[in-house]
Amino acid sequence: MGAIDFFTSATGPDLTTAFNTARAQDRNDYGSGGYTGTLAEKHSVALIDEPRRSEGDAVARARELLLGDDPRVSDKWGPAGALPIATDDGTDGWLLFGVAPY
């Protein structure tokens, strides 16, 4: 099987809670049998400690990291990456992204 990039925005009181909630939602929406190409395939998250930015700018930065084969996020079996974002409604959150089995 291959791999595909994914990008998911999430909010919550902290990164761990936001990750777990978004992962549970993807498991509900796409299943948990493996190879969904979504956050459902990730078991952990790695914070990319960079300044908070808009969601659009965070997606652009995430794409740069993925295209650059950054080892923190390039392993389809490794952790998801997380960049701090300010969502469209002004809420602080995270862009969860990475490469997932598909």
Question: Tens digits of per-residue pLDDT, 22-62?
Answer: 999 999 999 987 899 999 999 999 999 999 999 999 999 99
Q: How far is CA 99 from CA 51, 59, 60, 63, 71, in A?
A: 22, 14, 15, 11, 11
What is the phi/psi pair of residue 16, to 5°? -60, -45
Question: Tens digits of per-residue pLDDT, 91-102?
Answer: 889 999 999 999
Residue 84, token pair as written in the block: 């701090």
